[in-house]
Structure 1
Amino acid sequence: MDWPSPNAGLSDSDLSRVFQYVPQETTVVRRLSADPKLLLWSHENAKDWDDWLEQSSPSIQDSSGLVLIFARKGGETKGSIQEILDGAASFGSSRANSEFKSSFSEKNRSYSWPKSSERITTGPATVGRRLSIGARNVQGGSHDVRQLPFEKETFRKICKKFFVHSSISRVISRADVPIFSRAQVKMGPVDSEGRSQPAYVYNCRSANTWKNDLALTVTYFPRRRLVFGILFGCTAAVERQVLNRIASNEEHAFHPLLLSGIFAELERTRMVDIVEKTIDEIEGAIFELDSGTGGGTNAEKMSIEDAEDYHPGGTRYVRRTVWLNTTFLRHRLQIWKTQLSKMIAHVDELSETDFGSDIEPFGEKSGEDEIKQLQTQVEDTSLRRTSIMIKDRLRGLIEEFEDKIEDCTMRVDGMTIATQWSQADINVDIATAAGQDSSQMRSIALVTMVFLPGTFFATLFSMTFFNWNASGDGSIVVSSYLWIYFLVTGVFTVATLLIWWCFLGRRQRWAQSSKSIRRCC
């Protein structure tokens, strides 16, 4: 089996094959238990990264908290921090904007997030354009997640410092399926006994079938309560949403599944918009089927549809594409729902194994040990409360995804029913047209029966077999060869009927044999 290996960092092959490097400005957020204030840095070149990794990056030996790097995708020249400083975006509050800008320090390019008492909103910008994570254009298939805003050597150092596990390369490469995975491994430097520290590795990936897909890798050291994370493919709008959630979760910021939960919230925002757009498209197709637009029942329209509808842009091609898109979207929603269930199961696992138990009597211990034990137990209790909140929210997301799955199912079923109704209407129109043709044929047959006797006898009496005034005295002479006419007519009539009967019988026998062969196959 391909088990997650301990201390398995990204190899040179992964760094060269999986990722692409487009150096640009990048944001880092840090919140440590010793200093709960949310700090941010903005790095642009390799020297800035080297200085930060050397001086400000937390160590698993003496730090606990949360550190997250926003690996902004290519083309995002400005992050949310710079846009707020430039006045191109806003928190929705002039006081929050002012406090944010006043916290900027040119010396170390760090930022203090606005006070947690100030409610941070994600509303429209007061100046300039609005930042929105929703994407109405759902075309995907790009490789934005693979593009990193670092140089290759810088990313190698970040992976080493953040203990990035090699499993993230496989998750990013598997681009068309949403994923949540967790693995318990040994990571980090060895202790005095030659053992690495136990760690949890979490990887999340959203499907790149649609725009704005993301990937997340998190390494969590339970002994130190330290979380390292990298969010791949994010935009300025995503940065703002993640920062807002981290800032508003001061007490819960050190839970190992907080970043995975935020990732689930981002995916929920993206998928809700995609579902709404897809539902609008399939409802439009259902309306066309129900109203009869885009097609017709007369022979001319049907011939045009047969010639054009199966080509891109044709009516039937569009209907088929919309149906397939909705079915595919429903399948991906079901997969992501399964991943959320896996998150809930792991929340329970953490609560049972890594967050200790309720506070118990200390017994005979030193005062310092009692204080440490009390602090640990208080932290465990807080983390268990956070676990309950995360689990409740994940259950809410699952219920919402179930609702979206039902919406897709209802539209797919509606498309099927509308197609059946449309086909039934066409069959009724065809039957009506056939009935009209049959009525016209009966009229023609009636006219034929009216004129046929007269035509027959006019033809018969006009032949030379009859001489109506042979001797001039009005006598009628009938030729003795009249029997030849009746003989020839009778023979050819019988021959024609025999040929028709033989041909019809042969066709019936061929049809029966073909049906028998199909049954045997």
Structure 2
Amino acid sequence: MRSTARKGTPIETFQVTPGITRTILRNVPYFSAARRKIPTASGKNQVQISYTARVAESLPDDIALSSSYLPHIRTTYSVVYGCSKKQIDTINSRINSAGEDANHPLLMVGIFAELEYRRLMDQAEDLVDRFTLESDMLEHGTSWDPDSGLIQKHLEVCLQSRTLVDHIRTVKRQLAKVSKEIDTLITYWQSEEYTSLWKEDQTTDSKGVVATGTERMIEIASQMKYRISDIQDEYDDKIDECNKMTQNMSLAMQTGYNQIARKDAVTNGKIARANTDIAIETKRESSQMRYIALLTMIFLPLSCVASVFSTTIFNWEAEDGHPVVSNYIWVLLGIALILTIVTVSAWWFFTWRERNKEEAKNRNKEDDDLERGRMR
């Protein structure tokens, strides 16, 4: 877009700032200003003031700007890259509404800042609306289960708000550079270097017209600086809102986890009471088992002795010459010994087998843990 003293009109040939390629490749909010001498048709080198700007690529509708201001002919060439249809309409509307002020060298920079302001505000308001809606849903009875989809969406909004805060802060730093450039440009317009352009060039408007135009550009530049200050203040407000979302989410999550912890405490209390009841019953049964064991220890020897003496191995009424103990007592002792060995061996075998199974299970678990550790 070429802006003249009459009105901004489209042209077929653009003067593109060489630094625009580097600016676009940054993919982050950025503004730069540069001054250099360029040759003109008259053979003299004249000042060219170039501006490049870019907004963050991570948000939708990102654009870039290349603008070149030629003070000696009071002309500005601007190119905006990546515009959507809506953004094109907005740019045309603002240029048309500028009227005779469309020749201002910072016009497109100001429009660019307004487009980015609107883009960030829309993003922030969308996040605030989503956060408010999901907070209301959580507040009115929705479970605070950390695995629920609503909690994950809530966390996603908070993470997006933190990312947006970083974008806004970066844009604020770039706006500070724009504000500084406005001061530099005002100083240039008031300098002898600028006024000397019209003393040497007899083809330009009269000095009075030039002076009036310069005063008007300085006035507009001052207004733009105030507007940038207002935008920075509104950015601060949005940063506070986004930070408040994160703080509220942290508080809400802490409250939710406290509720879960309280429920867990109640459940643990019930489990503890159940364990106490089980322990009491176990103690009661253990006491009963001790009594049973005591009775068994008392009566088992008696029963064993009575069983042995009740057999025909012992003849307590033997006549003279007949033995009291039968010659087959060795059978009793042999069978008893064999049964004892079999019983002890069976007990040892089954105990050994269970112990080996437990050790093998523990070794496999340790091997699995080591394997997972290596994979990490």
TM over 0.5: yes
Q: How does 1:392-471 map to 2 (within 5 A)?
A: 392-463=226-297, 464-465=299-300, 467=302
Q: Of the candidates 362, 372, 376, which is equivalent to residue 210 of structure 2? A: 376
Q: Which runs of 4+ in 1 moved over 6 A?
A: 368-371
Q: How does 1:34-73 map to 2 (within 5 A)?
A: 36=6, 38=7, 66-67=8-9
Residue in 1 aligned with 2:21? 169
Q: Of the candidates 100, 104, 112, which is equivalent to residue 255 of structure 1? A: 104
Largest Rg, 1 or 2: 2
Residue in 1 aligned with 2:345? none
**1:426-457 CA deviation, whole Å, 9 max, x = no partner?**
22222221111111111222233334323321
| Cα RMSD (Å) | 3.1
Question: Cα gap change, 1:347/1:457 in structure 2, threshold over 3 Å: closer, same or farther?
Answer: same
Residue in 2 aligned with 1:476? none
Residue in 2 aligned with 1:180? 31
**1:169-226 CA deviation, whole Å, 9 max, x = no partner?**
1111222x11111111223536435x3x211111111112122111111000122211
Maintained 8 Å contact 1:261/1:390: yes
* Matches of 2:78 and 2:302, distance apart in 1: 116
Higher relative contact order (CA 8 A, sep 6+): 1
Q: How does 1:133-152 map to 2 (within 5 A)?
A: none
Count the aligned residue pairs. Answer: 297
Maintained 8 Å contact 2:48/2:69: yes
SS of 1:234 mapped into structure 2: coil
* Matches of 2:263 and 2:136, distance apart in 1: 19
* Matches of 2:295 and 2:261, distance apart in 1: 50
Structure 2 unaligned blocks of 5 or more: 307-376
TM-score (normalizing by structure 1):
0.52
Give the stretch that moved more between structures: 422-431 or 447-456.
447-456
Q: Does residue 189 of structure 1 match 2:40?
A: yes
Question: Cα gap change, 1:286/1:250 in structure 2, threshold over 3 Å: closer, same or farther?
Answer: same
Q: Does residue 212 of structure 1 match 2:61?
A: yes
* Matches of 2:40 and 2:9, distance apart in 1: 18
Bigger helix fraction? 2
Q: Give the superposition deviation at 1:335.
A: 0.4
Q: Give the superposition deviation at 1:163.
A: 2.3
Q: Percent identity?
A: 26
- Aligned residue type for 2:189: D
Q: Does residue 224 of structure 1 match 2:76?
A: no
- Aligned residue type for 1:171: T
Maintained 8 Å contact 2:29/2:54: yes
Maintained 8 Å contact 1:164/1:219: yes
Give the stretch that moved more between structures: 268-277 or 453-462.
453-462
Q: Of the candidates 32, 43, 47, which is equivalent to residue 4 of structure 2? A: 32
SS of 1:381 mapped into structure 2: helix
Maintained 8 Å contact 2:2/2:76: no
Question: Cα gap change, 1:371/1:450 in structure 2, threshold over 3 Å: closer, same or farther?
Answer: closer
TM-score (normalizing by structure 2):
0.70
Question: Cα gap change, 1:371/1:207 in structure 2, threshold over 3 Å: closer, same or farther?
Answer: closer
Q: Of the candidates 141, 154, 158, which is equivalent to residue 323 of structure 1? A: 158
Maintained 8 Å contact 1:355/1:383: no
* Matches of 2:174 and 2:232, distance apart in 1: 10
Residue in 1 aligned with 2:89? 240
Maintained 8 Å contact 1:218/1:229: yes
